[in-house]
Chains A and B, each alone.
Chain A
Amino acid sequence: EAQVTQNPRYLITVTGKKLTVTCSQNMNHEYMSWYRQDPGLGLRQIYYSMNVEVTDKGDVPEGYKVSRKEKRNFPLILESPSPNQTSLYFCASSDPGRLAVATQYFGPGTRLTVL
């Protein structure tokens, strides 16, 4: 089954404790992306990756890191989480090629709480 998976689905942590949220897709997509969803703000892009070893900042990259060592995986790293990073995070991927017309497939989401 074609899907985007994220782990963990729920995480409660404390300020400053490094964490990683994993994202994996089995559709051989080149493009992957991370979004955060906050009430009243919709979804905002954090980072995206056009392909292996190619990443770039989205609209709200501060406090986050990503890596793309393999095509299928795109982990989101919070080196020193802060309470304002409490949010619902979604990973997405899409077909290679004509990005402008690609449909993005979303993972199930990770609800992160930073105390």
Chain B
Amino acid sequence: AQSVSQHNHHVILSEAASLELGCNYSYGGTVNLFWYVQYPGQHLQLLLKYFSGDPLVKGIKGFEAEFIKSKFSFNLRKPSVQWSDTAEYFCAVIGPQGNYGGSQGNLIFGKGTKLSVKP
């Protein structure tokens, strides 16, 4: 079965530290990749997405992610985190329509990484 792996369960950083959250997926074909963020008590919001083109994708709030096809990775980065970045971050992947997990449009999520930023 296709899967998405987020290797860090909980990351604790001080403000101004740099952030990199790992995401690896197992599907070998064309994929579309997403990072979602869930602030405490809130619903998921899209941070950024990759469909094609430039593998370095810039999202909201200073986040970016790099798609490395050879490594099946889509790591999320931010050069300097803020206390307000404290949240849970989910990587997700969706394959070509009709060809992914048997359910069209099915986002496959990683298990999430909790980020705690100390002020």
Which A residues lie at the B interface, using CB under 8 A? 31, 33, 35, 40-45, 48, 50, 56-59, 90, 92, 94, 98-104, 106-109
Contact = CB atoms under 8 A, between A and B. Distances in A.
Interface size class of B (residues with CB under 8 A): 20 to 34
Nearest to A40: B111
Nearest to A43: B109
B111 A41 contact: yes
13 contacts: A42-B111, A43-B107, A45-B106, A48-B105, A50-B105, A90-B43, A90-B44, A99-B94, A99-B97, A104-B105, A106-B45, A108-B42, A109-B43
A100 B96 contact: yes
A96 to B, nearest CB: 10
Contact of A58 (B51, B103, B110): B103
Nearest to A30: B105
Contact of B90 (A40, A43, A92): A43
Contacts of A43: 44, 90, 92, 107, 109
B103 A104 contact: no
Contacts, number: 69
Secondary structure at the B interface, as helix, strand, loop or mixed, is loop
A42 B105 contact: no
A92 B94 CA distance: 14
A99 B45 CA distance: 18
Interface of B: 6, 9, 32, 34, 36, 42-46, 49, 51, 90, 92, 94-97, 100-101, 103-107, 109-112
Given A42-B111, A101-B32, A103-B49, A58 B106 contact: yes
Contacts of B100: 100
A33 to B, nearest CB: 7
Contacts of A56: 103
A99 B110 contact: no
A48 B94 contact: no
